[in-house]
Amino acid sequence: MTDLHPSSPLRVAIVGAGPAGIYAGNILSNAIAARSDGSTVEIDLFESLPAPYGLIRYGVAPDHPRIKGIVNSLHEMLDAQGVDAERRTIRFLGNIEVGRDVSIDELQARYHAVVLATGAIRDAALRIPGVDLPGSYGAADFVSWFDGHPDVPRTWPLVDEQVAVIGNGNVALDVARILAKLPQDLRSTEVPDNVLAGLEASAVTDVHVFGRRGPADIKFTPIELRELGEVAGVDIIVDDADFAEVDPAAAGTNQLKIMLRTLNAWRDRPENRGESTGATRRLHLHFWHAPVEILGSDRVEKVRFERTAPSEDGSVSGTGAFVEYPITAVYRAVGYFGSPIVDVPFDDRRGVVPNDGGRVDGTPGVYATGWIKRGPVGLIGHTKSDATETIANLLEDADAGRLADPTETADILDLLAEREVEVTTWDGWLELDAHERALGAAHEHTRERVKVVPREEQVEISRSGALAR
C-alpha cells in the first residue's frame, strides 16, 4: 500500500482505550487530516472494559479532582470523532477482550495496522519471603477495588489496625491516603457505594509507608505530597532520625527540593512534638527501610526491614541493622507490570512487548505505545511522546508500502455479533456516563457521579440505546 486516499482509507485497530490508546488515535487522526493529499483513516479503538479511559477511570484515587481535566481532554478527543468525518473516523468498541473475543490475526486480516496500548495493570513482584501470606495484598488490586473495577470482588477485608504500604511512588501514596482518610471525606467523590461502605467499616488506625531511600529521593509528586498533609483527622508522623544526614541541597531537582521542604515542615507539626491532636488515625512515613521478609504463620503478623544508607554511587545499601514492625496487613506498591497478549511477542523480564520505536519485534504491521511499549514509568507527557513516535513510524511504513492490505472487508462488528459479544460503543458510554451522573445528583450527599460497578449492569445501560457509532 503506497497511497492513502479517500477510496482506500488507512484502517487501524488500537487495542486499549486508556490515555495511550486515545492519544495514539487522536495523533493519527490529526496527522491524516493535516495532509493535503486527500488521504483518509478509519480507526477502531478496542477496549476490554465497557467504558473508556483505562487507568484514568480505574487506576487513580477518586479524591483527585485534577484527574477530571485529563478525563475531559480524553472525552473531547473521542467525542470529536465526527469532525471532518469524510477524512477520519474513530469508533470506540468496548467490552471486547482481544485474544479471547477476537484474535490478533483476525484484526490483522481486517486492518492495515494494529497498535497495542494495553498498559500495565498487574503488580510488579516483591521478591521476599512471606509475600504470599494472607494479609499481603497487591496495591493494584486494592486500587481496582476502590475505583470500582468490574472484574474484582466487591468487598475488601479492612480488618487490621496496623497496615503497611511498601513503596515511595504516587500509587503508594494513593493507597496510604485512601486507607487513612476518614470515609466521610470521600462521600463527595465518585467512589462507588460498596467501596464507601467498606471504608466506613474499616478498622485501620495506623498506616505505615516504607521507602528504601531517604526523604530526598522520594518518587511522589509535590501535589500528591501536599494533599497528604491536608487530609483531615489524620496525623502525619515522621521520624527525625530519618532526616539526620539529609542535606536539602542533595535533592536532585527543584521538585524534590520542594517536597523535602514539605517533609521538613511536617517535623514541626504538633503530633511530631508529642502533642495530642485528637486525630483518630495516623499516617507514618518511614525512610531508609528495605523490606526483607513478611513474617507470620497463618497470616501476616510482622514485617522485617533492613535499615539502609546512601552509597557513594547514589544508590542505597543495607546497614546490617534490622527492625520489625507489628504489621498485620501489607500493601505492595512497588510498581506495575505488563501482561502478555495472545500471539504477540512478550518480554517476561521487563513486562513489555519488545519493540523498536513502537514497531513490535518480528511482527510487521503491529505496533505498541504507552506502558506496554516502554514499561510503567513516566507521566501523561511521556504517553503523548510515545504515541507520537509510534504513529510516526506507522505512517512511515504506510507511505513506504510496508503495510499489508486487509484481506477481510466485512466490518469487525459482524464477526463480533456472530460470536454474541455484547459490544459497547461511544454512544453507550455517553448513556452510562449520564446514568452515573444522575446517580450522583440524586445522592443524599450530592456527588459528581456514582460509578456503576458490575460489568453486566454497565453493559446493559450502555446498550440501552442504538449502536450508532
- Write out pLDDT tens, residues 154-189: 999 999 999 999 998 889 999 999 999 999 898 888
What is the reported pLDDT for 82? 47
What is the reported pLDDT for 83? 47
What is the reported pLDDT for 247? 72
pLDDT of 55 above 50: yes
Residue by residue, DSSP assigns 196-210 as HHHHHT----EEEEE
What is the reported pLDDT for 311? 86
Q: Is residue 133 part of a domain?
A: yes
Q: Which residues, including other chains, have CB under 8 Å from residue 101's CB and lie 6 or more apart?
A: 416, 419, 421
Average pLDDT over residues 439-447: 79
Same domain flag for 49 and 146: no
How many domains, the chain? 2
Same domain flag for 343 and 320: no
State how far the alpha carbon of 335 is from the alpha carbons of 125, 206, 316, 317, in Å: 8, 23, 18, 20
Same domain flag for 368 and 269: no
What is the reported pLDDT for 250? 67
Strands 88-94 and 424-425, bridge-based pairing? antiparallel
The enclosing H or E element of 431 equals helix 426-441
Chain segment 113-140, per-residue pLDDT in tens: 999 999 988 899 999 999 999 999 999 9
Q: Is residue 214 part of a domain?
A: yes
Residue 451 and residue 51 in contact, taking contact as beta carbons nearer than 8 Å: no
**Higher pLDDT pick, 313 / 192:** 192
At 74, the pLDDT band (50, 70, 90 cuts) reads confident
371: domain range? Answer: 10-121+338-421
Mean pLDDT for all residues in the chain = 89
Q: Is residue 242 part of a domain?
A: yes
At 2, the pLDDT band (50, 70, 90 cuts) reads very low
The position carrying cell 489496625 is 161
pLDDT of 5 above 60: no
At 68, the pLDDT band (50, 70, 90 cuts) reads low
Report d(CA 53, CA 71) in Å as an integer: 7
Same domain flag for 213 and 241: yes
Q: Is residue 426 part of a domain?
A: no
Average pLDDT over residues 43-52: 96
Q: Is residue 449 part of a domain?
A: no
Chain segment 248-262, per-residue pLDDT in tens: 776 777 778 888 888
Q: Is residue 24 part of a domain?
A: yes
What is the reported pLDDT for 151? 93
What is the reported pLDDT for 469? 37
What is the reported pLDDT for 326? 97
pLDDT of 323 above 70: yes
Where is the domain boundary, 284, 307, 336?
A: 336
Q: Which residues, including other chains, have CB under 8 Å from residue 341's CB and lie 6 or more apart?
A: 15, 98, 99, 104, 116, 118, 353, 372
What is the reported pLDDT for 64? 77
CATH number for the domain spanning 362: value is 3.40.50.720
Same domain flag for 132 and 60: no
Same domain flag for 331 and 344: no
The enclosing H or E element of 396 equals helix 380-399
Chain segment 205-224, per-residue pLDDT in tens: 999 999 999 888 888 888 88
Where is the domain boundary, 293, 312, 336?
A: 336
The enclosing H or E element of 263 equals helix 254-266
State how far the alpha carbon of 82 is from the alpha carbons of 79, 374, 385, in Å: 7, 31, 25
Same domain flag for 61 and 27: yes
Average pLDDT over residues 221-243: 89
Query: What are the beta bridge partners of residue 209?
Result: 165, 285
At 71, the pLDDT band (50, 70, 90 cuts) reads confident
At 85, the pLDDT band (50, 70, 90 cuts) reads low
Average pLDDT over residues 223-240: 89
Same domain flag for 330 and 355: no
Where is the domain boundary, 336, 366, 392?
A: 336
Average pLDDT over residues 31-53: 92
CATH number for the domain spanning 149: value is 3.50.50.60
Residue 401 and residue 2 in contact, taking contact as beta carbons nearer than 8 Å: yes
DSSP label at residue 422: -
Residue 78: all three cell numbers together: 473521542
What is the reported pLDDT for 261? 86
Q: Is residue 456 part of a domain?
A: no
**Please, how many CA atoms are within 13 Å of residue 154, restricted to the half-sphere of its CB?**
9
At 465, the pLDDT band (50, 70, 90 cuts) reads low
What is the reported pLDDT for 81? 55
pLDDT of 265 above 80: yes
What is the reported pLDDT for 219? 82
Query: What are the beta bridge partners of residue 352?
Result: 347
Q: Is residue 447 part of a domain?
A: no
Same domain flag for 305 and 352: no
Same domain flag for 221 and 331: yes
At 1, the pLDDT band (50, 70, 90 cuts) reads very low
Residue 432: all three cell numbers together: 452510562
Closest-CA residue to 146 (of 192, 93, 115): 192
Same domain flag for 217 and 155: yes
In one-letter notation, the amino acid at residue 284 is: H
Chain segment 371-405, per-residue pLDDT in tens: 999 988 866 767 888 999 999 999 999 999 999 99
First to last CA, the chain: 27
Same domain flag for 39 and 166: no
